[in-house]
């Protein structure tokens, strides 16, 4: 079943001084290249590989629970799983609901249907346009800020979809004029659609920090993840994974800025 996949991984060579955990991972597997089902209907992508690597290095059991993005915080808060590993952007508002363990930084791009003939480089060029996003996306408040300022006379019609592929489908069908989404996700979609989806922004917009999420007060799992990431820094397999997906590691200063500290 897609809703509940148990990918249990036991390790032969645990990371020194890291105790094992049972890691039940909440992840939205509709978000390639970070999280998706491969051709064998198994969890795949950057976050999945990272959690498997953590499992391998520490001797931890790891299972993946496919959950739509908008329900991830609710799921971890109600103990349906104990870790969110689903390209969850760090925001001050979310930091009031969950505890974060930052591990990556990325950004957002704009994409359109190549057949539509439109091209948007900056978010302020979206005034008066229909813009699709995954439901609960961290950049939606940024669109609201534009509607309160430069787009006040001709506001952005911001529309949210349950999954990123559904937002892409809306762009391709003409249901929306543009899609805002993580840069790597849009690049992957454009490749799969053979150029029929076109990324038109030239800079990475709204640079963001990405973190694991755990239930407020779950210091055991939070400390385990934080300590494990610190011990993995410089590990050949760990560094190769970041290079494979072309993403960068975040810094403590960047995380503090993201949560308003």
Q: Are residues 170 and 118 in the same domain?
A: yes
**Residue 44, domain CATH:** 3.40.190.10
Between CA 71 and CA 79 the distance in angstroms is 12
198, 206, 208, 183: which is closest to 120 by C-alpha? Answer: 198
Q: Are residues 55 and 29 in the same domain?
A: yes
Domain that holds residue 112: 107-206
Q: Specify the pLDDT at position 261.
A: 81
pTM: 0.81
| Tens-place pLDDT, residues 63-95 | 999 999 999 999 999 999 999 999 999 999 999
Q: Is residue 196 part of a domain?
A: yes
Q: With a cut of 60, say whether residue 179 has pLDDT above it.
A: yes
Q: Are residues 233 and 118 in the same domain?
A: no
| Tens-place pLDDT, residues 2-26 | 444 444 333 334 555 457 899 999 9
Least confident piece of the model among 27-36, 121-130, 208-217, 251-260 = 251-260
Q: Are residues 65 and 90 in the same domain?
A: yes
Q: Are residues 160 and 189 in the same domain?
A: yes
How is the chain split among helix, strand and coil, in percent rounded to 5? 35, 25, 40
| Tens-place pLDDT, residues 43-59 | 999 999 999 999 999 99
Q: Is residue 227 part of a domain?
A: yes
Cis bond leading into 108, ω under 30°? no
């Amino acid at each position: 079943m897609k809703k509940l996949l148990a990918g249990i991984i036991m390790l032969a060579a645990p990371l020194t001084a890291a105790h094992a955990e049972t890691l039940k991972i909440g992840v939205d597997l509709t978000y390639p290249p970070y999280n998706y089902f491969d051709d064998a209907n198994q969890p795949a992508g950057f976050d999945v590989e990272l959690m498997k690597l953590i499992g391998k290095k520490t001797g931890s059991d790891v299972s993946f629970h496919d959950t739509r993005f908008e329900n991830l915080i609710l799921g971890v808060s109600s103990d349906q799983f104990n870790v969110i590993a689903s390209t969850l952007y760090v925001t001050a508002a979310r930091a009031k609901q969950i505890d974060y363990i930052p591990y990556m930084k990325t950004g957002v791009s704009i994409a359109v249907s190549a057949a539509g003939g439109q091209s948007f480089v900056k978010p302020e060029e979206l005034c008066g346009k229909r813009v699709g996003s995954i439901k609960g996306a961290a950049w939606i408040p940024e669109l609201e800020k534009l509607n309160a300022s430069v787009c006040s006379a001709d506001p952005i019609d911001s529309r949210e979809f349950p999954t990123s592929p559904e937002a892409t489908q809306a762009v391709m069908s003409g249901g929306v004029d543009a899609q805002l989404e993580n840069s790597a996700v849009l690049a992957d979609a454009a490749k799969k659609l053979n150029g029929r989806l076109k990324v038109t922004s030239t800079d990475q917009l709204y640079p963001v920090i990405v973190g694991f999420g755990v239930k407020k007060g779950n210091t055991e799992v939070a400390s385990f993840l934080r300590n494990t990431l610190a011990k993995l820094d410089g590990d050949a397999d760990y560094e190769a994974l970041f290079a494979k997906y072309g993403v960068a590691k975040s810094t403590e200063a960047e995380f503090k800025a993201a949560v308003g500290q």
